[in-house]
Amino acid sequence: MTDPAAIAQRVIDLAGDRAEAQATVVTGESALTRFANSFIHQNVADTTRVVTVKISLDGKVAKGTDNRSDDAALSDLVDRTIEAARLSPVDPEWAGFAPPAPIPAVDNYDEATAAASPEERAARVKDFIDAGRGTDAAGFCDTEAMTVAFSNSLGQQAVGRDTRATIDGIHRVGTVAGSAHQTAQALGDIDGAAAGALAAERFRLASDPYDIKPGEYEVVLSAECVATIAVFLGVYGFNGKAFNEGQSFLEIGKQQFDQSINVWDDPFAPGSLGVGFDGDGTPKRRIDLVRDGVSQTAVHNRKTAAKAGVESTGHGLAGMEAFGAFPANAFVGGGSASVEEMIASVDRGLYVATFNYCRILDPKSQVVTGLTRNGTFMIENGAITGAVTNLRFTQSFVEALGEGRVLHLGDDQRFADSEFGVGLVRAPSMHLSSWNFTGGAEG
């Protein structure tokens, strides 16, 4: 059996009247072209089939997974998961399976990306490398095409598919490096030359870095840095589990951000990634998280929604239920300023290309510590005048985006690499009045 929807329904049929069941089947292909020392050294492809079943027996819940889809394997998967449920304790927060509901039409899929050849990825790698001749270039270009099918005992069924392409790399000589990243739904939208040129320019500017004193600096943050901010706000703040447990900064209806800040979650915008339903089978929809600086809502899966006495917002994350619910298609609203214009408006401050190794210190206040990496530059009198060594920061992300502290939003909103995942957030560059740097990379 190869059809994902048929496999999912077969799992439900095998459970029959012995138990309530939910089945998710993910099939597809991913391929990776990796390069180092300015040469391609690896090209790999992988075919995926993962069958996951969740069984409920009077509030006792268990989950099982297999990569086979023949009838004998599916029957064995169902049998052993039912037995595991029998031996499990009752889950007092179990909210049951999703009822039938229509799934919005969305097809975030590009046929050319699904069929992309190694040569097509290699061409983009070559463009990246050629943009920085004389350096050691390293990174990867990959493509992915996945289909997800869902079915449960209550009659909910859904099928969706999506594609993704990424190029990510550095130009480096010795310990000096500059990086760049692009992610898109279609490989045709990936510009290896532009990414390579940005990484090469950051490398060129990063030569001969010098130390500066820790302190509060005006900053221009790249889209990657802003994406990391958004991820922390989502995972530790807009997460329904954190909100229910009183661990979130979120105060619904309160202006917690500058009026220019808008954050939302939307899998249906053109060029988005992902499918139209979540890991529970609940339909997704656009959710406003921050509107004109005012916090709007937390996002929920079925379990966190039941505890909060609200409906699920379609943010169940398959395999990550213990972490709660958080935005998976997040956007940070952009503005009209170019990066060059933002830099030109700074008398003395820093441009930061990438954050690295960020860790939450206090979820309630969103104080995070982390490092800068692959490009931290001094801005003086409206121009970058040199590179500084990597810095450690300790900063409340909510406070950093507070009223009056967001000076400009960039016109370069795009998918940006973040601390926890590729292409997780579509974000712009951002000009902030202050960022708290607390030391060098070693402390």
Taking the CA atoms of residue 385, residue 387, residue 393 and residue 396 in that order, the dihedral angle to the nearest 10 degrees is 40
Please state the rounded mean pLDDT for residues 160-169: 96
Please state the rounded mean pLDDT for residues 290-319: 95
Residue 335: closest CA among 429, 415, 432, 410: 410
Of 257 and 1, the structure prediction assigns the larger pLDDT to 257
pLDDT tens column, 315-329: 998 888 888 998 989
C-alpha–C-alpha distance, residues 243 and 264, integer Å: 17
Does pLDDT of 157 surpass 60? yes
Which range is least confidently modeled, 9-13, 268-272, 333-337, 406-410? Answer: 268-272
Does pLDDT of 423 surpass 70? no
DSSP assignment of 344-390 equals HT-SEEEEE--EEEEEEEETTTTEEEEEE-S-EEEEETTEEEEEB--
Q: Which helix (H) or strand (E) holds 56?
A: strand 39-57
pLDDT recorded at residue 442: 65
C-alpha–C-alpha distance, residues 180 and 73, integer Å: 44
Please state the rounded mean pLDDT for residues 201-206: 92
C-alpha–C-alpha distance, residues 257 and 113, integer Å: 38
pLDDT recorded at residue 207: 86
pLDDT tens column, 328-382: 899 999 999 999 999 999 999 999 999 999 999 999 999 999 999 989 999 999 9
pLDDT recorded at residue 418: 80
Please state the rounded mean pLDDT for residues 112-122: 97
Residue 307: closest CA among 154, 98, 91, 94: 94
* Residue 1 Cα to chain centre, angstroms: 32
Residue 270: CB partners within 8 Å, gap ≥ 6? none
Neighbours of 29 (CB within 10 A): 15
Task: Answer yes or no: are the C-beta atoms of 194 and 375 closer than 8 Å.
Answer: no
Percent of residues, the chain, with pLDDT higher than 90: 90
Radius of gyration of the chain (CA): 23
β-strand partners of 33:
43, 141
Residue 441: pLDDT band (50, 70, 90) is low
Residue 143: CB partners within 8 Å, gap ≥ 6? 30, 31, 113, 114, 116, 121, 163, 164, 165, 187
pLDDT recorded at residue 421: 64
DSSP assignment of 402-428 equals STTTEEEEBS--EEEEETTEEEEEEE-
C-alpha–C-alpha distance, residues 14 and 117, integer Å: 39
Residue 94 burial class via C-beta count within 10 angstroms: exposed 0-12, middle 13-18, buried 19 and up:
middle
Q: b/e map of 219-242 (b: 16 or more CB within 10 Å)?
A: bbbbbbbbbbbbbbbbbbbbbbbb
Evaluated on CA atoms 70, 113, 356, 179, the torsion sign reads positive
Give SS3 for 66. Answer: strand
Joined together, the tokens standing for residue 217 give 């600096």
End-to-end Cα, the chain, rounded Å:
56
pLDDT recorded at residue 26: 97
Strand bridging mode 355-362 / 383-387 = unpaired
In degrees, to the nearest 5, what angle opens at C-alpha 314 toward C-alphas 308 and 320?
Answer: 85
Joined together, the tokens standing for residue 13 give 């049929």
pLDDT tens column, 24-46: 999 999 999 999 999 999 999 99
* Residue 345 Cα to chain centre, angstroms: 30
The strand order across the sheet containing 421-427 reads 294-295, 287-291, 263-265, 330-332, 421-427, 414-418
The CATH label, of 3.30.360.10, 3.90.79.10, 3.40.50.970, 3.30.2290.10, for the domain at 4-200 is 3.30.2290.10
* Crossing angle (nearest 10°) for helices 4-15 and 71-86: 50
C-alpha–C-alpha distance, residues 287 and 69, integer Å: 36
Residue 308: CB partners within 8 Å, gap ≥ 6? 240, 243, 244, 298, 300
pLDDT recorded at residue 240: 96
pLDDT tens column, 382-414: 999 999 999 999 999 999 999 999 999 999 999
Model pTM? 0.94
Please state the rounded mean pLDDT for residues 46-51: 95
Sequence spans of domains, the chain: 4-200, 208-440
pLDDT recorded at residue 232: 95
DSSP assignment of 205-258 equals HTSS-B----EEEEEEE-HHHHHHHHHHHIIIIIBHHHHHTT-----TTSB-S-
* Residue 270 Cα to chain centre, angstroms: 17
Residue 164: pLDDT band (50, 70, 90) is very high
Residue 75: closest CA among 130, 18, 134, 132: 18
